[in-house]
A and B are shown apart, each in its own frame.
Chain A
């Protein structure tokens, strides 16, 4: 990736003795470093530690059992269903957000009339809480109401669906609601990116005989790859921690078809008192998140260094 083309290179500074400025900088940073260390990293460490002890009842028990809880979880059919659901949810959510977010942004970028009105409309769902989104879409997608009644009324009964209560693909339908809510934000990201591509680039391409499709496919989309990367990280994280919208819409669903790691962790903790097993789920969520975030951090770091 050629992320740094337009960025001025940071000049390597000669090493200097710690100045007053440096001291101030360190002093100012200490509170946030301490806060991050305590509230993020120490809790991650704590979660991983709990996942290795035997605290699976209401009485704390810190007997070290190594990977026993991990083995139990890996044999737990609900947990495996959760992983499958995560894969489906992440795929559906990321794909819809990226595709529709980009299309909306490209549409707004055509210097259309009333752009600001459209922009507001598109980004509006982002202001709605996930609970409200979930409840509204629950009414739309209820098998005995909403869309199915409309389809019946229009004589299209053949297209009726179980929607989110489908025993296998229910979770995919939930991503429709989740994407509806989040797509405006992705659109804003892409729009900012599109606005940053200078007209010269487009004009130069046009002069070289490049059509609209080719322009987007070979020039604009590659130039926006940094934004796409950010969008994938954001939506991917959203998929991993999915909880509220699903809790409002379908709960765990039929045979856990719409269950998520977070819902499962919630029940293991608060209904079953299995703190160590739920810590395993938490740790798995951290690991999956870091698979997404670490490459992002590395890429931004490289960019700063260049």
Chain B
């Protein structure tokens, strides 16, 4: 018998594995080098500034770089380290995982991108990982420049913990005007009834109404929150998180029914598609519409796609379902003064008007320079100022991350099982765990 050989091989494999693990550990982001000298006088700020985000492609990078350029002009002595990792949002977010290991390991980046709202508060602020930014808000006059709803999302018990740089709208239906034109339709559906009557007409022509994703979690939850917002209305939706509305409400159940019906009018191969595959379907003419956030505007631009129209998602006119990216100051960072300067830039008019036109979002401030924005953004800016603001679940604004995870899982399963009662019960259970009614 050659068991000795096999055992040696076995041990060799184990050794290999351990070696690989050690290598992987070496590859992990190491601690930022200590700041060179005291960063005392602001004019001669030096040292480093590490900015962590999940902005790695297209307009997001351009926007981030535009802010870096302004920062470098003001503080030429500071070296900016761009610690961006692809894949932040949605299920399996790599960037968030890296961020968590660094934060828990006592090696926070100098400042990091975080969704404004419960993600910021319940994950980081309550765990005492963030510095209170009230003084900065006061000295920069931000209490007047940001809308109160945005400040509320950035705050816990009256203390602000991060600086919002942008606002995205997530309740938008994007449609292909050519496909809609084939059935003589020239506007987006204003209600779900209208949505399905258009969908029926398109189906007769063999065109799927909805871009859909069945693989992985996140997209389905995005559709569901749009449906729930339309079904419950603004007050009903907000009540889900304040305790005024029960998750057991019959309207939640009928939201599941609507999502189920939507699947009948979706692209046939949606089971294999993940979130990122949905936007291209409308561009390629494979689906007539997509209920998606307004980063889609940026995507269309990058594809030079012009045959599109948009409207608030069916039944959500007058409501702005929002999410926002922000930056904060983690406790125990090495380059605190440099971070404060970075946060000042993030919250400034100059910073926001440099970042947002490129990123495709709108500024969180009330005083944007409208000339810098495209026609969609101008309308979004005006809607943001006049509409009721609700927070998105999937995008971290309305609910804490553990609930978002459960919520996404339940709805991802539902898209396959189509079991309305079962999914509703699971969602109610998840809400109970999260402390909702």
Decide yes or no: A255 and B10 within 8 Å by CB, A165-B215, A226-B1, A270-B100 being known contacts. Answer: no
A-B CB contact pairs (8 Å), 16 listed: A58-B122, A58-B129, A77-B426, A144-B272, A165-B215, A167-B416, A193-B5, A193-B6, A195-B2, A230-B7, A233-B10, A251-B92, A252-B216, A263-B92, A271-B405, A273-B402
Contact A58 B1 (CB under 8 A): no
Contact A255 B412 (CB under 8 A): yes
Contact B96 A270 (CB under 8 A): yes
* Chain B facing A: main interface SS: helix
Tell me, in angstroms, the Cα distance from A255 to B123 when the chains sit together.
Answer: 27
Contact A251 B91 (CB under 8 A): yes
Tell me how far the C-beta of A119 lies from the nearest C-beta in chain B, rounded to whole angstroms: 15
Residue B86 interfacial (CB < 8 Å):
no
Contact A77 B92 (CB under 8 A): no
Instruction: Return the chain B residue nearest A4 by Cβ.
Output: B1
| Residues on the B chain within 8 Å of A227, using CB | 2-3, 6
Residue B93 interfacial (CB < 8 Å):
yes
Contact B1 A189 (CB under 8 A): no
Decide yes or no: A59 and B127 within 8 Å by CB, A227-B6, A234-B13, A303-B3 being known contacts. Answer: yes
Tell me, in angstroms, the Cα distance from A246 to B222 when the chains sit together.
Answer: 24
| Residues on the B chain within 8 Å of A230, using CB | 6-7, 9-10
Contact B402 A56 (CB under 8 A): yes
Tell which of B5, B406, B413 touches A255, judged by Cβ atoms closer than 8 Å.
B413
Decide yes or no: A193 and B122 within 8 Å by CB, A77-B413, A77-B426, A300-B7 being known contacts. Answer: no
| Residues on the B chain within 8 Å of A267, using CB | 91-92, 405
| Residues on the A chain within 8 Å of B127, using CB | 57-59
Contact B96 A271 (CB under 8 A): yes
User: Inter-chain contact count A-B, CB under 8 Å?
Assistant: 135
Contact with B along A48-61 (1 / 0, CB 8 A): 00000000111100
Contact A142 B402 (CB under 8 A): no
| Residues on the A chain within 8 Å of B426, using CB | 77
Tell me, in angstroms, the Cα distance from A270 to B85 when the chains sit together.
Answer: 15
Residue A91 interfacial (CB < 8 Å):
no
Residue B306 interfacial (CB < 8 Å):
no
Tell me, in angstroms, the Cα distance from A56 to B123 when the chains sit together.
Answer: 11
Contact A162 B272 (CB under 8 A): yes
Residue A143 interfacial (CB < 8 Å):
yes
Q: Which of A238-266 contact B (CB under 8 A)?
A: 247, 250-257, 263, 266
Contact A58 B412 (CB under 8 A): no
| Residues on the A chain within 8 Å of B92, using CB | 247, 251-252, 263, 266-267, 271
Residue B81 interfacial (CB < 8 Å):
no
Decide yes or no: A57 and B416 within 8 Å by CB, A3-B1, A192-B6, A270-B96 being known contacts. Answer: no
Q: Which of A77-126 contact B (CB under 8 A)?
A: 77-78
Instruction: Return the chain A residue nearest B98 by Cβ.
Output: A270
Residue A285 interfacial (CB < 8 Å):
no
Residue B415 interfacial (CB < 8 Å):
yes
Decide yes or no: A255 and B1 within 8 Å by CB, A59-B127, A78-B409 being known contacts. Answer: no
Contact with B along A155-199 (1 / 0, CB 8 A): 000000010010100000000000000000000110011011000
Contact A223 B1 (CB under 8 A): yes
Tell which of A7, A56, A167, A270 touches B97, judged by Cβ atoms closer than 8 Å.
A270
Tell me how far the C-beta of B286 lies from the nearest C-beta in chain A, rounded to whole angstroms: 10
Number of B residues, CB within 8 Å of A: 44
Q: Which of B7-28 contact A (CB under 8 A)?
A: 7, 9-10, 13
Tell which of A226, A250, A269, A273 touches B215, judged by Cβ atoms closer than 8 Å.
A250
| Residues on the B chain within 8 Å of A255, using CB | 214, 412-413, 415-417
| Residues on the B chain within 8 Å of A303, using CB | 3
A-B pairs with the 5 shortest C-beta distances? Answer: A255-B416, A196-B2, A165-B272, A270-B97, A272-B405
Contact A57 B406 (CB under 8 A): no
Tell me, in angstroms, the Cα distance from A25 to B143 when the chains sit together.
Answer: 69
Tell me how far the C-beta of A279 lies from the nearest C-beta in chain B, rounded to whole angstroms: 14
Contact B93 A270 (CB under 8 A): yes
Residue A11 interfacial (CB < 8 Å):
no
Contact B1 A59 (CB under 8 A): no
Residue B302 interfacial (CB < 8 Å):
no
| Residues on the B chain within 8 Å of A192, using CB | 2, 5-6, 9
Tell me how far the C-beta of A14 lies from the nearest C-beta in chain B, rounded to whole angstroms: 26
Contact A251 B274 (CB under 8 A): yes
Contact with A along B214-244 (1 / 0, CB 8 A): 1111000000000000000000000000000
Tell me how far the C-beta of B306 lies from the nearest C-beta in chain A, rounded to whole angstroms: 26
Instruction: Return the chain A residue nearest B7 by Cβ.
Output: A300
| Residues on the B chain within 8 Å of A59, using CB | 126-128
Tell me, in angstroms, the Cα distance from A139 to B25 when the chains sit together.
Answer: 30
Contact B405 A189 (CB under 8 A): no
Tell me, in angstroms, the Cα distance from A72 to B3 when the chains sit together.
Answer: 43
Contact A252 B91 (CB under 8 A): yes
Residue B30 interfacial (CB < 8 Å):
no
| Residues on the B chain within 8 Å of A256, using CB | 409, 412-413
Tell which of A58, A193, A253, A266 touches B123, judged by Cβ atoms closer than 8 Å.
A58
Contact B271 A7 (CB under 8 A): no
Q: Which of A199-256 contact B (CB under 8 A)?
A: 223, 226-227, 230, 233-234, 247, 250-256
Contact B1 A5 (CB under 8 A): yes
Tell me, in angstroms, the Cα distance from A268 to B409 when the chains sit together.
Answer: 11
| Residues on the B chain within 8 Å of A4, using CB | 1
Contact B6 A253 (CB under 8 A): no
Contact B10 A234 (CB under 8 A): yes
* 4 new A-B contacts at CB < 8 Å, known A193-B5, A252-B412, A270-B100: A77-B426, A189-B6, A192-B5, A193-B2
